Amino acid sequence: LRANFSIIQKETGFVNGLITVLHDITEQEKIDLERREFVANVSHELRTPLTTMRSYLEALAEGAWQDEEIAPQFLNVTQTETERMIRLVNDLLQLSKMDSKDYRFNKDWVDFILFFHRIIDRFEMTKNLNVTFERYLPDEAMFVEIDQDKITQVLDNIISNALKYSPEGGTITFHVKENNGFIEISVSDQGLGIPKENLEKIFERFYRVDKARSRQMGGTGLGLAIAKEMISAHGGGVWATSVDGKGTTITFTLPYDSAQEDDWS
Ligand code: ADP
């Protein structure tokens, strides 16, 4: 809401009226503002790796390429930065695809429990994993109608974050339960947690609690924004809870009708 004030004043200097015009910032103005902010963010996110690469390439060109010890390190930096830019551009393409009107989902009926176990298995197979996984998943099947690729991407983002922010030797816990017409899925870690005032913001595009740390870990700041859009498109919701310093839990829901089970037996 914006307010414009006009003071009606006589030549004598006495104020004898005050006109207040209140009007909503139009939807269009809001969209324009968001678009400008988004473009500014994207430019900034791309400029950072590009300027880093430029300085390393300059150093290489100026002679560092001849140093057998330094050259591979510098090339390594440019490679890491390139990979991060590719991830960023892929995430941006993903978001822009989702924004377009004719974005389609490929939904199938799948047993979420089996589907979730497979995703966790894939992470557990990763070598040098120094966290423990604990699963609290129901034994019986729970069928939901989902786009498997999209929900895989959602879980990949959430689980990768849990791993990124887990302390050495920590535990990541997975829960699935039914709750009032929804299936509720949560992933908890024992990492540094998220301050209360930032809990909702982490689902915004480019928002990071600690920008430097996220970039250093190769983050784009778009993972959870993409996850949120995908979950909303499935009719579910997503939120975070956290005990600062003790860990974070990301929970999301998907519509689930337990009566459907009868059709499958
Ligand atoms: P990023 O690429 O930075 O990980 P995300 O959209 O996935 O972007 O997450 C946004 C921000 O939310 C992160 O930068 C981080 O500050 C915070 N965050 C997400 N998951 C966790 C977690 N499990 N523990 C602590 N902070 C987290």
Type of residue found at 140: E
**Ligand 1 centre distance from Cα of residue 197 (Å):** 14
Q: Helix, strand or coil for residue 213?
A: helix
The DSSP element (H or E) to which 174 belongs, if any, is strand 171-179
Helical spans, DSSP H, in 165-219:
211-216
**Residue among 84, 161, 190 to mutate when testing ligand 1 (max atoms within 8 A of CB):** 161
Q: pLDDT tens for residues 110-160?
A: 999 999 999 999 999 886 788 999 999 999 999 999 999 999 999 999 999
Q: What is the mean pLDDT of residues 190-195?
A: 93
Per-residue tokens: 105: 């989902």
**Ligand 1 centre distance from Cα of residue 215 (Å):** 11
**Residue among 48, 201, 205, 208 to mutate when testing ligand 1 (max atoms within 8 A of CB):** 208
In 180-246, DSSP assigns E strands to: 182-188, 238-243
Ligand 1: residue whose CA is nearest its atom 2:
219
**Ligand 1 centre distance from Cα of residue 208 (Å):** 6
Q: Is the sign of the CA dihedral 116, 117, 123, 129 positive or negative?
A: positive
Q: Is 239 exposed, middle or buried (0-12, 13-18, 19+ CB in 10 A)?
A: middle
> What does the alpha-carbon distance between residue 138 and residue 209 come to, in Å, rounded to a whole number?
34
* Residue 22: per-residue pLDDT: 67
Type of residue found at 171: T
* Number of Cβ atoms within 10 Å of the Cβ of 230: 23
Q: What is the mean pLDDT of residues 194-210?
A: 92
* Residue 101: per-residue pLDDT: 77
* Residue 99: per-residue pLDDT: 83
| Weakest mean pLDDT among 32-41, 183-192, 214-223 | 214-223
CB 86 within 8 A of CB 93: no
> What does the alpha-carbon distance between residue 149 and residue 24 come to, in Å, rounded to a whole number?
40
Q: pLDDT tens for residues 76-109?
A: 999 999 999 999 999 999 888 888 877 888 999 9
> What does the alpha-carbon distance between residue 116 and residue 107 come to, in Å, rounded to a whole number?
16
Mean pLDDT of all residues in the chain?
89
The DSSP element (H or E) to which 149 belongs, if any, is helix 148-164
Ligand 1: list residues with CB < 6 Å. 157, 161-162, 165, 189, 191-192, 194, 202, 207-210, 214, 219-225, 248
